[in-house]
Structures are given as C-alpha cells and as structure tokens.
Amino acid sequence: MNILLVYPKYPVTYWGFQYALKFISKKASFPPLGLLTVAGMLPDDVEKRLVDLNVSTLKDTDILWADYVFISAMVVQKESVREVLQRCQNLGVKTVAGGPLFTAEPDAFNEVDHLILNEGELTLPLFLKDLANGNPARIYTSDQWADLATTPNPVWNLIDQKQYSTMNIQYSRGCPFNCEFCNITSLYGRIPRTKSATQLITELNALYDSGWRGGVFFVDDNFIGNKHKLLHEVLPALITWMEAKQHPFAFLTETSINLADDDELMCQMVKAGFDTVFIGIETPNEASLLECNKVQNKNRDLIACVKKIQHFGLQVHGGFIVGFDSDNAGIFDSLINFIQQSGIVAAMVGLLNAPKGTGLYQRLASEGRLVEGFSGDNTDFSMNFIPKMERSLLVNGYNKIVDTIYSPQRYYERVRVFLKEYKPCKTTAIPVTFNQVLAFLKSMIRLGVFGRERVYYWRLILWSLFKRPDVFPLAVTLSIYGFHFRKVFKKSALEI
C-alpha cells in the first residue's frame, strides 16, 4: 500500500516567519511533526512519502501514486485543505484526515473519506486494523487521553531538513491551567502527560543521527506543566545528553509565566540549552485576566517577571490579546507601554477569538454573540464574536498597537531594552553557518540600505558590535524578525 502524507499550506502569518526565512534561504519554520509521527505509526510494509506544501508542490502524479492521502492540519490551513481534498476527489484517491482542524469541526468536512479524530495514538490503530480487515469506518474518535509512551519517533527521513529553519519535538501534552479562550485543555486535557527522560533522549538521538544541528522547538502546550518531573528527571538527563553531544541544539518552547517563580527551573533550562520561551502574557488589565481565568498571570508584576526570565538567559516571546469584555479605550496605550517596557521584542498581539471547544465559545454562544469568521490567525483582524467595545474602535486601537510597536523607532528601542537585560548563556556551541553569514549580508542591504529602518538598524548593529559583541548575532536576527513583523501586519491591515 502507498500512503502519501500531505501537509497543507499555511498563509503568511506572524508565526510563519515567511519574510524572515528568505534571509536565511529557508522555506518554512518547522516541519509537520504530527504527520512525521503518524508515519511512525504506519506498518513497515507501507510505502510512505510526504509532501509539505509549505516547501514544495503537490503534483497530480504524487496523488495518483497513493492508495490513500493522509492530511493533518490546523484551522489556519483550512483554505489549502479544501484545495487538496478537491484534487484528491477529482483524481479518485481516498483521503484520511486528522489533527486539530478536523477534530474541532468534523462536520465541516463531508468530502473526507475517513476522519481520524482526537489523538492519533488512540484512533489511528483502530482505523489501520479495520483497513487491514477491509472494512474501515468513516469516523474514529476517542474520549480518552493517549499515553505518550506509545508515541513513536518521527520519521525524519521523509523530509528534507535543509528546507526548514528549526526542527521540532514534543515532550508533553496538556496544560494545568484553563484560560477561557484556549482550546488546549479540551484537546489535550488539564493533567500534563509527559514522555520519560529515556524516551525523550531516544528521540533526540534520532534527530541528532538524522544530521540536524541547530534550533529545536519543543511544541509542548506548556513545557513546565509538570515542574517536578522536569527538575528531577528530564532536565538533568537533557543536560547530560547535551554535554555529551557538545551542545548540538538550541531549544525553544512555550511556558506559563510562573516559570519566573522558579530560579532553579530557569537555571536548569538554560543549562540544558533553552534560549527562548513563548509566554501568553495576554494583557496588563487585571480585570481582563480575571475575566479569561488567566489566574497564573494575576496579582503579579508581569514586567518584573519577564525581566527576571530574560536575566536568567531566556528570551521571552509574548502573546497579547485585546478585545476582552473588560477592555476599555485605555487598553491600547496601556498595552503599548507594557510591551515597550518589558523588552518583549517578538510581541504577538491579536484580537480575541473564540475557538470551538473553549469556555469562551460556550459563553458567547449562550449570550448570542458568536458570528462566522474564525480563521485560526488572530493577527489578521478577524473576530468570530460581537465584542462589547464598538468594533471600529477596537480595530482602530488594535491597528494603533501594531503600528506603534513595530514602527522602526519603537521596535529597535525595544530590542535595546531587551538586550541590555538579557544575559545569554555561553554553553551553546552551534557553529555559525554560511546561511547566517548570508543573512547578515542580506540584512545590511535590505534593512541597512533600502529599509526605512536603516538608521535604527545601523545604530543597533554598531552598538552590539562594539558594546555587546556577545549579542551581535541575536541583534541581526531580531532586526530581521522586525522586518517580518512589519510586513505581516502591514499586509493584514491592507486586507481588511
């Protein structure tokens, strides 16, 4: 049997880093980890190929080669999903679909032949068994959570790693918190499920043996959901492994803000090779934090927490939201000031949306405030509910935030605020690559000669070169990120 795994295209988004990737001659940020893991669950005698539409094209001959086309996708990839499904239908090839998009809205995909919903470790084996017996059903679901010990290694040889800037890996699923707008707990539960240190090291060895050196993203919903296991089992093993392998990877992940409460945890993460964390800060407005049940962010000095994390050697990328019922017209300036003071360079500010399966979705449905329009990209000015604040005021205020924080002056100011606070760890030993040198040269031309940020760019480059050479590569990277963020938000603003 031939199975073609297809990863649909995602649009230009904040997280896609498409404009930045051009500087380092890469086509996508991350490979499709879900499909690579699904490939590991398929029987050995199945022929497998993978086409990631973010790095290559899907030919009719690829589809016709397959007995089944497997698709996995997030909501933001919906448009490309429809196209792929249509092509498979036209060519008479059966489709099998799973992942967050299909689990959230199975009824919206009548054209799919087989839906493998919820966690693949539980539902895919049922489908494969029925398929082998010649009677596969249309839908497979489960109300259980998978044991991650059963998750196989991703099949890395199905992709060309050179097309991606960063590899990814998963250590845990689920999150102990329960923010009202977040669908993680409905998809993966509130009790974090984790892999053992041995399993994680086996996966890292496989990634190492595949030849990869560089960034590795732990795609966990909240990496520190089980702090005890991290501190006593996983991070010590990771530190030993990284030392033995001479620090081949730099890790980034997602955590909650209570990381700042644990000095030992931050120390160990940095020692293990983590240099960046994404944290959902959401808002400086206490009433909005209460409204969305973001209890871990309440009653604390959020800026001090961010600075503490930066001081330990971790760059903080932050997620922010406007459009809560408790927001008033003052939120826009207050958020701008917060972001500038915090030195969160990569600040993803989005309009509140209500994904299916969340408490927010239920509440808004009961209040009769839901509307169409959930795109999965909360930076594209879309909203799927009627906000309390007048919508034009909200959209204008949102526009003002992104226009301000990504203006060259304010952006580069913020980079300096961050770099002054940041104490990078000196243990990572990833050599400078030709692509990185090329990226610097491209940045000199694109940003330093033609960019409207050229004055600020050169000030930062010269400052870091002479005053903080230890952060010079990061200063170049952040300059390139700034270019991407400006272009993404400009594009979104033009499209509304």
Name which of 178 and 210 has its Cβ closer to ligand SF4. Answer: 178
Q: Is 146 left (phi over 0), alpha (psi -120 to 50) or beta?
A: beta
Q: Rounded to the nearest whole angstrom, what is the least distance from the CB of residue 256 to ligand SF4 in the complex?
A: 5
Name which of 280 and 323 has its Cβ closer to ligand SF4. Answer: 280
Rounded to a whole number, what is the distance in angstroms from the first to the last CA of the chain? 46
Name which of 128 and 184 has its Cβ closer to ligand SF4. Answer: 184
Name which of 165 and 253 has its Cβ closer to ligand SF4. Answer: 253
Q: Rounded to the nearest whole angstrom, what is the least distance from the CB of residue 318 to ligand SF4 in the complex?
A: 12
Q: Which residue do the tokens 């890395």 mark?
A: 156
Q: What's the CA gap between 494 and 294, in Å, rounded?
A: 32
Q: Rounded to the nearest whole angstrom, what is the least distance from the CB of residue 180 to ligand SF4 in the complex?
A: 9
Name which of 182 and 270 has its Cβ closer to ligand SF4. Answer: 182
Name which of 280 and 376 has its Cβ closer to ligand SF4. Answer: 280
Two tokens at 18? 């498409």
Name 315's bridge partners.
276
Q: Rounded to the nearest whole angstrom, what is the least distance from the CB of residue 197 to ligand SF4 in the complex?
A: 23
Name which of 128 and 348 has its Cβ closer to ligand SF4. Answer: 348
Q: What's the CA gap between 192 and 230, in Å, rounded?
A: 12
Nearest CA among 206, 142, 163, 190 for reference residue 435? 163
Q: Rounded to the nearest whole angstrom, what is the least distance from the CB of residue 226 to ligand SF4 in the complex?
A: 13
Q: Rounded to the nearest whole angstrom, what is the least distance from the CB of residue 252 to ligand SF4 in the complex?
A: 16
Q: Rounded to the nearest whole angstrom, what is the least distance from the CB of residue 174 to ligand SF4 in the complex?
A: 9
Name which of 187 and 475 has its Cβ closer to ligand SF4. Answer: 187
Greatest C-alpha distance within the chain: 69
Q: Rounded to the nearest whole angstrom, what is the least distance from the CB of residue 317 to ligand SF4 in the complex?
A: 13
Contact 357, 336 (CB under 8 A): no
Q: Rounded to the nearest whole angstrom, what is the least distance from the CB of residue 358 to ligand SF4 in the complex?
A: 9
Q: Which residue do the tokens 């409460």 mark?
A: 261
Q: Is 12 left (phi over 0), alpha (psi -120 to 50) or beta?
A: beta
Name which of 5 and 224 has its Cβ closer to ligand SF4. Answer: 224
Name which of 177 and 338 has its Cβ closer to ligand SF4. Answer: 177
Nearest CA among 75, 72, 104 for reference residue 85? 72
Site of interaction with ligand SF4 (CB under 6 A): 175, 177-179, 182, 184-185, 221-222, 256, 280
Amino acid identity for residue 480 in this structure: I
Name which of 273 and 357 has its Cβ closer to ligand SF4. Answer: 357
Q: From residue 453, how far is each of 20, 53, 221, 447 by CA, in Å?
A: 15, 33, 35, 6
Q: What's the CA gap between 238 and 195, in Å, rounded?
A: 13
Q: Rounded to the nearest whole angstrom, what is the least distance from the CB of residue 155 to ligand SF4 in the complex?
A: 27
Q: Rounded to the nearest whole angstrom, what is the least distance from the CB of residue 144 to ligand SF4 in the complex?
A: 20
Q: Rounded to the nearest whole angstrom, what is the least distance from the CB of residue 179 to ligand SF4 in the complex?
A: 3
Name which of 136 and 355 has its Cβ closer to ligand SF4. Answer: 355
Name 215's bridge partners.
166, 250
Neighbouring CB atoms inside 10 A of 126's CB total: 15
